[in-house]
């Protein structure tokens, strides 16, 4: 972490919506007149698309799985070193992974290849990362500890698969069968390297559809914003102005408070609050502490006090 050269990371699975979230951050940077050095998570893949196809075939022949979610197909060491270098010096390197022909043509390359590494622009105020592994931790690497603000974008998994399926078939030229095979092949790495990150994030945004998504692989469209809730989870309660959030986000409500008791925190979990940006409901579990908002203020209390 670095006060002089901070690192912000938006992390989420493929199809989660991290790219859309990044657009919001770019607007914030522009409003605050901050110059951001942007780093794409896909640039830390080890393989081009043809190389990855070959690695998948070799792994399958050996009875194994390999996916872009795991360490075998990504350079976690280089990612961690990039965050360290920027935090210490404000410098680093970046490249792009070219997914589509539209992205590849300006570089005179084909989709599924990398652009050359280039120095980050200087000077910049913040490093902004968007990708799969902004909060990854393994026995060899701890990327998360070098991030000053870690934001998770993690829709309900069926919605995540719908978004991935439609994006990869309509924008990236993959077949429906290939996308479904990718989901199955990636499941071990998804469980071990993607989902644990969301216990380390400072804020999570979880989109929850209010329409039937029971069979995501038969979906023809993505549920609209009007057909969704967004659950906003804050890892720590200190400094969060809940009355202001409730006033600014029409229809929002506080659904759940988790207040840490003693020292039993694991995987980065601790105090936390879920703020839902639509609808009206409360979580009535008696074992949890909740928030009261008398006269525009709030405090943590026991449920028995709200009688």
Could you read off the pLDDT of 157-204 as tens digits, one per residue? 898 889 888 888 888 778 888 888 888 888 999 999 999 999 999 999
Distance separating alpha carbons of residues 166 and 161, to the nearest angstrom: 9
The full 3-state SS of 23-41, as one line of letters, equals HHHHHHHHHCCCCEEEEEH
Those residues with Cβ within 8 angstroms of residue 270's Cβ, 6 or more apart along the chain or in another chain: 235, 236, 260
Distance separating alpha carbons of residues 28 and 12, to the nearest angstrom: 20
Question: CA quadruple 162, 39, 191, 233: dihedral positive or negative?
Answer: negative
Predicted pLDDT of residue 293? 45
Predicted pLDDT of residue 307? 39
Predicted pLDDT of residue 281? 34
Per-residue b/e over 168-181, b at no fewer than 16 CB within 10 Å?
Answer: beeeeebeeeebbe
Distance separating alpha carbons of residues 112 and 50, to the nearest angstrom: 7
Mean predicted lDDT score pLDDT of the chain: 84
- Consecutive H or E run containing 291: strand 290-292
Low-confidence ranges of the chain (pLDDT < 50): 261-269, 279-307
What does the block give as tokens for 267? 């995987």
Distance separating alpha carbons of residues 153 and 129, to the nearest angstrom: 13
Predicted pLDDT of residue 105? 96
Residue with tokens 């280089």: 78
- All domains in the chain, ordered by first residue: 7-213 (3.40.50.300), 235-307 (no CATH)
pTM for this entry: 0.81
Predicted pLDDT of residue 236? 83
Distance separating alpha carbons of residues 298 and 177, to the nearest angstrom: 51
């Amino acid at each position: 972490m670095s006060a002089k050269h901070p690192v912000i990371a938006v992390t989420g699975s493929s199809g989660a919506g991290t790219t859309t979230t990044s657009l919001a951050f770019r607007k914030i940077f522009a409003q605050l007149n901050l110059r951001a050095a942007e780093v794409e998570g896909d640039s830390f893949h080890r393989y081009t698309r043809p190389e990855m196809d070959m690695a998948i075939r070799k792994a399958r022949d050996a009875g194994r799985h390999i996916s872009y979610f795991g360490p075998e197909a990504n350079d976690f060491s280089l990612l961690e070193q990039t965050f360290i270098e920027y935090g210490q010096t404000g410098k680093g390197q970046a490249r792009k992974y070219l997914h589509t022909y539209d992205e590849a043509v300006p570089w005179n390359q084909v989709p599924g290849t990398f652009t050359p590494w280039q120095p980050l622009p200087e000077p910049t105020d913040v490093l902004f990362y968007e990708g799969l592994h902004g909060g990854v931790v393994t026995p060899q690497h701890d990327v998360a500890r070098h991030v000053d603000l870690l934001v998770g974008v993690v829709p309900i998994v069926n919605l995540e698969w719908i978004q991935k399926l439609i994006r990869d078939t309509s924008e990236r030229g993959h077949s429906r069968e290939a996308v479904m095979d990718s989901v199955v092949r990636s499941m071990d790495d998804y469980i071990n390297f993607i989902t644990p990150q969301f216990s380390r994030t400072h804020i999570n945004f979880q989109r929850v559809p209010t329409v039937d998504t029971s069979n995501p692989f038969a979906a023809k469209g993505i549920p609209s914003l009007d057909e969704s809730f967004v659950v906003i989870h804050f890892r720590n309660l200190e400094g969060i102005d809940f009355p202001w959030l409730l006033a600014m986000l029409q229809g929002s409500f506080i659904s759940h408070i988790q207040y840490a008791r003693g020292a039993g925190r694991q995987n980065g979990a601790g105090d936390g609050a879920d703020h839902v940006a639509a609808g009206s409901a409360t979580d009535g579990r008696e074992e949890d502490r909740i928030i009261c908002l008398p006269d525009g203020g709030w405090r943590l209390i026991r449920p028995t006090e709200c009688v």
